[in-house]
Amino acid sequence: MAVEGATFDLRQGEIVGFLGPNGAGKTTTLKMLSGLLFPDSGVGEVLGHVPHKREPAFLKRIALVTGNRNALAWDLPALDSFLLLKALYDIPAADFTRRRDQYIDLLELGELVTKPVRNLSLGERMKVELAGALLHAPEVLFLDEPTLGLDVTMQKRLREFIREYNREYGSTVLLTSHYMADVVALSERVIVIHRGKLHYDGGLAGLTTRFTTFKTITVVGDGLPPDIDAWGEVVERFPDRVTLRVAPDQVGRVAAGLLATATIDDLTIEDPPIEDVIERVFAEAGEET
């Protein structure tokens, strides 16, 4: 079963991270919601439409962008494909020109849009693909690994563009990504799916709280206690700095104890990296299934 009982609702204007390991059912879900796949059972509704009916009124209000597929004509400059999209979506001339120029500026496309798409790098192609997908100002945007294979600078540029688009048009965005920086930067809410089943739907902060089994305490100073190993699991040690791994319910006691018994210049308490939290979510989901 590719997707089984994954029930959720999205509010207008939300950017929601849709997470799961490879084969979890993320892309299948996005394809059903955009009308590319016909579900065997269950009901999906987007903007009041049943997606697989592929009604023009529905298609003109959504967009699906995938990081490993090209929608623009391979041998034509992006500008020519933009004109084709203008005709397909019946975009008024003034709106088309304004959005085209706005996206070219925000994404720093410059002369890229005058070159055949096949001559562009992966990052450059992804930028023109995203610009083309948004020319008709879709109200719902499905993004499937939009930063796949891009360097850090390009990932940041695309995230900023998506955030700006969401802010200006109030669009709803469902985003899948293996780069947690994308999710952290864009989404306050995340949905976790594993083997087709939904395992978490809530705030990103709540995900960390629910699945975190430890926090780290880093203490800096010349007077660190010799028995600091007794306060927690030492994961990093230097003469003037030690990092401990501590159970969440022991953080207050350990921090207070260290401050009271040692000469400390600085003390920081941190959650584990979000990648570690997500890995634990996937592991627990796998055990349940």
Q: Where are the domains of the chain?
A: 15-208, 213-270
Collapse the DSSP code of 73 into the 3-class scheme (helix H, G, I; strand E, B; otherwise coil) and give the result.
Answer: coil
152-173 in b/e form (b: 16+ CB < 10 A) is eebbebbbebbeebbeeeebbb
* Higher-pLDDT residue of 184, 274: 184
Average pLDDT estimate for 16-20: 93
Residue 158 has pLDDT above 60, yes or no: yes
CATH T-level assignment (fold) for domain 213-270: Alpha-Beta Plaits (3.30.70)
- SS3 of residue 14 by DSSP: coil
Q: Domain 15-208, what architecture?
A: 3-Layer(aba) Sandwich (3.40)
The phi, psi pair for 110, rounded to 5°, reads: 50, -125
DSSP class of residue 241 equals: E
Percent over 70 (pLDDT), the chain? 98
- Residue 285: the pLDDT is 67
pLDDT greater than 70 at residue 252: yes
- pLDDT, tens digit (0-9, with 9 covering 90-100), for 45-67: 999 999 999 999 999 999 999 88
